[in-house]
Amino acid sequence: MSDERTEELSEPRVSRSLPVSVSVSVSDEGRKSTDASHNDDATDGTRNETARSEAPRDKEHGSPPPEVSVTKIRMQSRLPALDDDADVGVQKEHVVTRDGKADLRFSGVLLASAAPPSAPKGHWQEYRIYQTNGGNHVFSKVTRTLLEGEDDAHEAEVFDPSPTSVPSQLIRTAREMARQRPMTWKDAAIAFFGYDPLAKTLFRKLSVRFEEQIS
């Protein structure tokens, strides 16, 4: 009897403990599943916020920087030296480029040239004064840029001490009347280059004086 009773008592204990075991197991798995789902949602939300926050930066910095010319970088690194510094005072044939006009070809000498010591903004100017074998003076101003695909700007003028064309003679006469003295190539150089720091550097390299004389 005692053995049968023991078996009968032991069976209910097992039957009562099984539901508890299963219930706890299901509850734990459900909680883990709920927590995992919550974590996944939070992770997705964080990723979405990160993507939204990074999108403007990508759009802002998405365009590639402008390309620079390797040749111009080499020229810039040598400033204030220029490629034709060795031509100063040398008799030879020159070609001076002009935008929108015919280029100037002549035989003569390069009297002086000037360039800035650096180009921090990626562009700089070069000033030159030539004298032709015929007695004319050529003034050249070149604006260089480092950017690839952007052309340099070229300006040039010719000073003829004795112009032959009627329009040039009329213009020369009007200027001389206003100055009350004949116009010289130095006057023409000042009118072309002005008195900016680079122009003053150019004028100092010449043997003539460009300062304004006062008494």
Q: Is residue 68 classed as helix, strand or coil in its secondary structure?
A: strand
Residue 86 lies inside a defined structural domain of this protein: yes
Amino acid 185: pLDDT: 93
Amino acid 147: pLDDT: 92
| 184: exposed, middle or buried (Cβ count in 10 Å: 0-12, 13-18, 19+) | middle
Residue 105 lies inside a defined structural domain of this protein: yes
Amino acid 77: pLDDT: 95
Task: Count CB atoms within 10 A of the CB of residue 182.
Answer: 10
* Structure token pair of residue 98: 């002009």
Q: Consecutive sets of 10 residues in the chain, 215 residues long: mean pLDDT of each?
A: 47 44 44 48 48 42 78 94 96 98 98 96 96 97 94 96 62 57 89 96 90 85
Residue 13 lies inside a defined structural domain of this protein: no
Residues contacting residue 172 through CB under 8 Å, at least 6 positions apart: 163, 183
Q: Residue 134 in contact with residue 118, Cβ under 8 Å? A: no
Residue 49 lies inside a defined structural domain of this protein: no
- Boundaries of domain holding 196: 70-204
Residue 29 lies inside a defined structural domain of this protein: no
Residue 108 lies inside a defined structural domain of this protein: yes
Residue 41 lies inside a defined structural domain of this protein: no
* Structure token pair of residue 194: 């002005």
Residues contacting residue 91 through CB under 8 Å, at least 6 positions apart: 107, 108, 109, 133
Q: What pTM did the predictor assign?
A: 0.65
Residue 158 lies inside a defined structural domain of this protein: yes
Tally of structural domains, the chain = 1
Q: Which residues are bridge partners to 39 per DSSP?
A: none
